[in-house]
Structure 1
Amino acid sequence: MKLAMKRAMRLAAILAVPGVVMAESSHIYRHAEEPIGTIRQVYDGQLFPDLQVNTFRNIDRLFATRTVKAGSSPLPLPESDRRLQNFRFQSRGSTYDLYDFMALNRVAGLLVIKEGEVVFEQYALGNDEHTRWMSMSVVKSITATLVGVAIQDGYIASVDDPLTRYLPQFAGSAYDGVSVRQLLQMASGVAWNETYTDPVSDRRAMLEAQISQQPGAILELMAGLERAAPPGSRWNYSTGETSVVGALVNAATGESVADYLSRKIWGPFGMESDASWWLDAPGGQEIGGSGLSATLRDYARFGLFMLHNGEIDGESILPPGWVQEATAWPTIGGELVDYGYMWWLLDEGAYAAIGIFGQFIYVHPDDNLVVAMWSAQPKPVGKDAVDEYLFLNALAAALR
């Protein structure tokens, strides 16, 4: 009785907040009462397995969020008559199969869509098709794609525009003279240390700014960084720069990033569930590089959106050639880089949105293949027991 009353009170409190929409309209989110850890424990890799899983599917409880509203007509994901069969592959000197990969890499959900039809859908660790799971850096690719949408809409003139045309507060900072393209490629030349577990890294300073929940604290941090190289001369992975991209989308469109994503993609393309997105402060700006929480099927639908070159009902909401440009291997500082407009570039023309702990949206255009995957690896990076890229290559081959 006490638990039922507690849930009812929680639901009443949630529904009393303006703008809050339950992601599952027919019933309360079934994971909502699970105990969770803290955000510092997440980045430190100091959560025991059960608590880690609870936290990953309840990240909306860690910070203020904004809803990304789904549409009323979900894009169907029909099941194929063909099913993915078990397959074997080599990784780091050993042989593995599908079951090994899911168990050893702590895969929490895997959805495979071949030629528009589901050939495999499996949930683990207590998840199901209604579970929302953290994206981490997967959302970088989504944020960057919204720049293309804003260009198509005429809010941003060109990727070659200076960033300060849209964000004048960066004039005089290390970002002065950086183009939108260089920002998207993480080739700004601005100094940044991405080490998640280093308490004095720039990434952890950004996390502390996020924890402070003070409006504009992250952008203030970014504006205070030093220049390490001329713009366009060096590639350096920076989560902070995706928050700058989010601020760019917000400034150019005049809409919150979540609302713009909902209006242009999440609703029209047919995502079936509302998502939530971390904010830098209550009512503030979305964290461009992490904090989207959505269902596995909707992550897969975003992969289909990219596979279809950003077309919705026969009309492209991205500029002509954007997907090809965003997923082409750039040369930065004389070196070929496996990173496009915040998409990782893989073998055989495939590309992927990738997040720490093992989150993926994988797109293989030549094979008409999309894979969405959740994982709960014990540390942010370096704890994939089986090589994920070799697994994805083998999966693609198994379906040919």
Structure 2
Amino acid sequence: MYICQLKTFAIAVLLAFSSPASLAASASTANKEYRHAQEPIGTVRQLYDGKLYPDIQVNTFRNIDRLFPTRTVARGKTVSSLPLSKQPLQAFSYQVDGKQYDLYDVLSMNRVSGILIIHRGEIVFEQYLLGNNEHSRWMSMSVVKSITATLIGAAIHDGHINSIDDPIVNYLPRFKGTAYDGVTVKHLLQMSSGVAWNETYTDPASDRLRMLEAQISQQPGAILELMASLPRAAKPGTVWNYSTGETQLAGALVRSATGKPVAQYLSEKIWSKLGMQADANWWLESENGLEIGGSGLSATLRDYARLSLFLLNDGVINTANGSERVLPQGWMATAGSRQVIGGETVDYGYMFWPMHGRSYAAEGIFGQYLFVDPDKQLVVAMWSAQAKPLNRAGLNEYTFLQALSDHFQ
């Protein structure tokens, strides 16, 4: 286990879309304590296109707050401990098609840039690579979808949202008369709205890339305008279709129901109470605008691990003063389970990906994972810097994570 030396850092908030050189030169004075703040980075289009050379890609992934305006997710006054296990992970290996692989293979072949494994509340393995340390921040991308969905659970528990079966237009009246009229909160969480959406990254005409261009435009409400213009493809609740755009509606739902910015609600309900070691930051659609519901949270690896432990504990935060339930009881068991949509079982929960047994994961492009296995009391927070947004993992992450679960009693 290797743990790098501590350094302090501050959060940078800076809008930039220009060249790597100008991006590096424009880092604000508030950023100087963050050890990566002066690194040259690429542009957001290069990031999503997979057109960054390895060194610039890594720099960009740990400096995404320089690509768009952000809002701070404030930590609390205390930091929760992550004790080290007296039995660290050793001699781990597994076989696939008669070939044996170990952690060295996984970390190297998948370009892992940080991994933290916690078993029964204790760190059994922690490693930082590609120039990171425990104070480096890293992008989470679609892991944010799972965070936004979890905040919907918190809003239901708080009574801000009356029921998971409420129509979303009760909270987002601007969508009355659109294809989202008749879609419920549950449909949104399941991505079973029935609204047409093309997620294909490689299709320049896809809705996903239209959403990215709307985000780059930094025009307030541009993404929601795009969503309101989409046609209906099926009856709500009958077809599953993965849609990053719908996570923007999910974020707007949290904002409208709670009356608070999404980052502030995340801070108040989870981040400030869970003993996070650092503030996080979250992309905005425009200066002082709505958070991007499906990408753009940047935080430290240990804080991602603390968030994973929160999920493992079914949304209960334990402190010296007692415990506080943040999510409805049993929420995570449902959120992390396969759903039946239109009579068919789909490998998707409430914006989480079910895996083996009762395990599930929040996942992001380029190889980001928050993995939770309730049966083994195991969580894994993992960063990667794979070459392209999709289909560039050297070794199958699901196979690796299942082998890791099988390793523990």
Is the structural similarity TM-score above 0.5? yes
Aligned equivalent of 1:362:
371
The question of 1:353 aligning with 2:383 is answered no
Distance 1:10 1:328 in 2: 42
Map Cα deviations across residues 116-139 of structure 1 (whole Å, 9 max, x no partner): 000000000000000000000001
Match of 1:315 among 324, 328, 334: 324
Contact 2:194 2:232 in 1 (8 A): yes
Aligned equivalent of 1:71:
76
Alpha-carbon distance, 1:247 to partner: 0.2
Contact 2:208 2:244 in 1 (8 A): yes
Map Cα deviations across residues 348-375 of structure 1 (whole Å, 9 max, x no partner): 2100000000000000001000000000
Unmatched segments (≥5 aa) in structure 1: 1-6, 15-21
Which one-letter code corresponds to 2:324 in the other structure? E
Aligned equivalent of 2:349:
340
The question of 1:298 aligning with 2:313 is answered no
Aligned equivalent of 1:108:
113
Contact 1:91 1:387 in 2 (8 A): no
SS in structure 1 at match of 2:273: helix
Distance 1:270 1:385 in 2: 34
Number of residues of Structure 1 aligned to a counterpart in Structure 2? 383
Alpha-carbon distance, 1:334 to partner: 1.5
The question of 1:397 aligning with 2:391 is answered no
Aligned equivalent of 1:17:
none
Distance 2:172 2:55 in 1: 42
Alpha-carbon distance, 1:92 to partner: 5.9
Which one-letter code corresponds to 1:334 in the other structure? G
Alpha-carbon distance, 1:395 to partner: 1.2
Match of 1:243 among 248, 257, 264: 248
Aligned equivalent of 1:18:
none
Aligned equivalent of 1:283:
288
Aligned equivalent of 2:219:
214
Contact 2:199 2:207 in 1 (8 A): yes
Map Cα deviations across residues 126-161 of structure 1 (whole Å, 9 max, x no partner): 000000000000011010000011011110000100
Q: Equivalent residues in 2 for 1:1-400 (5 A)?
A: 10-12=27-29, 14=30, 28-91=33-96, 94-313=99-318, 314-400=323-409
Which one-letter code corresponds to 1:347 in the other structure? H
User: What's the Cα RMSD here?
Assistant: 1.6
Contact 2:111 2:386 in 1 (8 A): yes
What TM-score results when the alignment is normalised by the length of structure 1?
Answer: 0.93
SS in structure 2 at match of 1:60: helix
Contact 1:79 1:117 in 2 (8 A): yes
Distance 1:99 1:81 in 2: 21
Aligned equivalent of 2:5:
none
Runs of 4 or more, structure 1, over 2 Å off, are 7-12, 90-95
Contact 1:91 1:386 in 2 (8 A): no
Which one-letter code corresponds to 1:114 in the other structure? H
Distance 2:214 2:98 in 1: 42
SS in structure 1 at match of 2:375: helix
Which one-letter code corresponds to 2:362 in the other structure? A
Alpha-carbon distance, 1:39 to partner: 0.8
Contact 1:84 1:399 in 2 (8 A): no
SS in structure 1 at match of 2:100: strand
SS in structure 2 at match of 1:95: strand
Map Cα deviations across residues 65-88 of structure 1 (whole Å, 9 max, x no partner): 000001111111010101111322
Distance 2:25 2:60 in 1: 21
Which one-letter code corresponds to 2:384 in the other structure? S
Distance 1:267 1:311 in 2: 14
Distance 2:234 2:209 in 1: 22
Q: Percent identity among equivalent residues?
A: 63
Alpha-carbon distance, 1:236 to partner: 0.5
Alpha-carbon distance, 1:10 to partner: 4.9
Contact 2:79 2:276 in 1 (8 A): yes
Label 1:115 to 1:173 Cα distance change in 2 as closer, same or farther (>3 A): same
Contact 2:27 2:38 in 1 (8 A): no
Map Cα deviations across residues 156-201 of structure 1 (whole Å, 9 max, x no partner): 0001000000000001111000000000000000111111222111
Unmatched segments (≥5 aa) in structure 2: 1-23
Distance 2:331 2:114 in 1: 29
Label 1:8 to 1:74 Cα distance change in 2 as closer, same or farther (>3 A): farther
Alpha-carbon distance, 1:393 to partner: 0.9
Distance 1:159 1:210 in 2: 28
The answer to which of 324-333 and 212-221 deviates more is 324-333
Aligned equivalent of 2:20:
none
Which one-letter code corresponds to 2:341 in the other structure? I
Label 1:195 to 1:93 Cα distance change in 2 as closer, same or farther (>3 A): farther
What TM-score results when the alignment is normalised by the length of structure 2?
Answer: 0.91
The answer to which of 50-59 and 304-313 deviates more is 304-313
Distance 1:72 1:62 in 2: 28
Contact 1:90 1:390 in 2 (8 A): no
The answer to which of 191-200 and 55-64 deviates more is 191-200
